[in-house]
Amino acid sequence: MNAGPFATEAEARQAAGPLPEPGSWRGHNQRLIMGACHAAGVPLGSYDIQIIEWLAGWEPATCAVVAGLISRARQAGPR
């Protein structure tokens, strides 16, 4: 996945990858965000997962931005 930074919604939409039909995005979006968290080594609690499930209901471009932020934060490392 392209982790951005994203200058436009179209860039974020493209980064979200091939999508299922509208209305069935939740699983795709959840995998996108959870995958970014897993790759970054982010430990998740049950409430964290509830929020990721809530976020997964948003459009894929939004979830791609969230996943991209997580990925870029990991790459940036501690300051």
Mind giving me the DSSP string for 31-55?
HHHHHHHHHTT----HHHHHHHHHH
State phi, psi for 17 to the nearest 5 degrees.
85, -175
Residue 31: phi and psi, rounded to 5, are -65, -35
Closest CA to 56 of 14, 18, 16: 16
Tell me the whole-structure pTM to 2 decimals.
Answer: 0.84
> Which tens digits make up the pLDDT trace of 3-61?
888 888 888 888 888 777 777 789 999 999 999 999 999 999 999 999 999 999 998 99
The domain spans of the chain are: 45-79
